[in-house]
Structure 1
């Protein structure tokens, strides 16, 4: 397959997958996913757009976060990876790819629901990379529940702790260490605009992330820190098979987009690179939608 800079037909650039019904325990692993995801290991070509940057990326062991970590390294950035301890195998694979690109990979396992880990994460990044100037808040929790009657207090709380409370805590710990020119990119979702009935807790956190991003961008702009977001559509990741989607829906995942297929994680990476690079110096408070053509506000 050609690299991301080669002109190709987006309809068939990546396979139109029909994933079989499958199940993994939360949080899910890339190594066990059928079919496997494309995170750009063999296709992403860097052009030096993030040379010398020092990035912290949450949820960077698999899926979108892994694709972003690989792209950042190939663009010249050192990367600290935040992920759950259960995802160690996936994380070490991504670390190997980063190191083969000649960059530093700093694995930092832990649970973002723990406020102490959120604070320590920034300190460990500063110590391990010698600084921090690019923060990507990507980690997310998504569990499908058909009826609000069956949505437990525990799930509601855990989804909010992972998706939005942790984002606030990491930003708060990091902001005084971010020099002018630094960037924050938050992962939101098409669900923020068009919530699925079985994802009301997840979708509502993504709407909160959109709002948090815009308000924070306005607040930090005078300090020279740019804040933006990326809103993925249906992207094939382990999130979908670890109860993120109803099992019967997996074979049809992403086929309702105008492109007629699910996206691959590597198709998200250039959006994060753009918003982190100096090319986007006049872009603040923006939510960049990467969703296969689904209409958004």
Structure 2
């Protein structure tokens, strides 16, 4: 009887957990649908600004562009990695995929820990690299479930300031790209410095993500007013903001998808466990009833004799 009560308690506890995971799956699915709607609107804007920057790059306007630096370069050629993770758990393999991909990328490009700094967007990444003794130059926690453009402007401003101050000489954005509801791919895209090569690499990487920007050779020349530098100084910051915002939006989409899938898997596992426990309980109950009947029958036969 004690064993049956224990199984009955486990069934009730598992059903309670299942209700929680099912509710969380529904919440994450709603968030995923919302952010996908926002991504579609954003893609219209970003495809236009990427097209403009790509044309400027291919017309060689960026060849002689030198961004202003506030101070003498004291970075000694350091590379910065802007790593986008979540602030919470229960997101499946999302965080481990980003961190594993970033660590592999860092090992290939800057194996010496003194040669790079980490810029963490998301508490999981910040905590991980702090624990492993990495140089954390910047961290941002609490990105909204549906990020706004204004949130990203603050991040871009901080990144640009450190770049201008010579904290690092190049920057990669590392995140998970949302492919579909069951798949995401790791990406590491070069953001700074903004030269023709890095922009073309970014464009080529974006083609698979729904962008209509294509790499082709252009021979067109432009008449620019008031000057090339002023035009570039106006457009390139918008381009940088669009890349960072796009990466965060993309990463959050992958996060919600991974969380939804993780909660679905947890719910399915709970269903399987409940079925198994109910079968075990029914068998134990049937065995107990059979034993009672046997005992009653045996007692009746003893009385008759």
- What TM-score do the two structures reach when normalised by structure 1? 0.31
Rg larger in structure:
2
Higher relative contact order (CA 8 A, sep 6+): 2
> Which protein has the bigger helix share?
2
TM-score normalised per structure 2: 0.31
